Amino acid sequence: MTAAAVTISDRAARRIGEILKGEGQGAMLRISVEGGGCSGFQYKFDVDRAKTDDDLVIERDNAVVLVDSASVPFLAGSEVDFIDDLIGASFRVNNPNATASCGCGTSFSI
């Protein structure tokens, strides 16, 4: 698996770095795809301290992001961004594989 499969925007890397700094040494952000949500699949974001041998590891500045091997195919070619607008601040996954997504951008279908 290569890091080119998923990219992290400058804004997302800054925000992830801020979050991880507050979590202490060894903290990483895990992004996974799970069944559920209003469109079939949903993105899940967790702080994790353990990485497995088959995790995709993406490092940018102070941000370390893990994606489990089962989620990589769903996220291939995606960019993780951080949006701060009138609706609120959140991570957004710009996923070219998604054929539909919900209004809030946290779930999608393929």
Q: Any idea what the CATH number is for the domain that residue 16 is in?
A: 2.60.300.12
Q: What is the pTM of this model?
A: 0.82
**How is residue 41 written in tokens?**
């699949």
Q: Sheet holding 88-94: strands in order across?
A: 6-8, 78-85, 88-94
Q: Evaluate whether residue 29 is within a structural domain.
A: yes
Reported as a single tens digit per residue, the pLDDT across 57-69 is 999 988 999 999 9
- Say how many domains are in the chain: 1
Residue 86's pLDDT is what?
A: 83
Segments forming the whole domain that contains residue 80: 3-100
Q: Evaluate whether residue 94 is within a structural domain.
A: yes
Residue 20's pLDDT is what?
A: 95
Confidence of residue 39 (pLDDT cuts 50, 70, 90): low
Confidence of residue 88 (pLDDT cuts 50, 70, 90): confident
Q: How far apart are CA 98 and CA 89, in angstroms?
A: 22
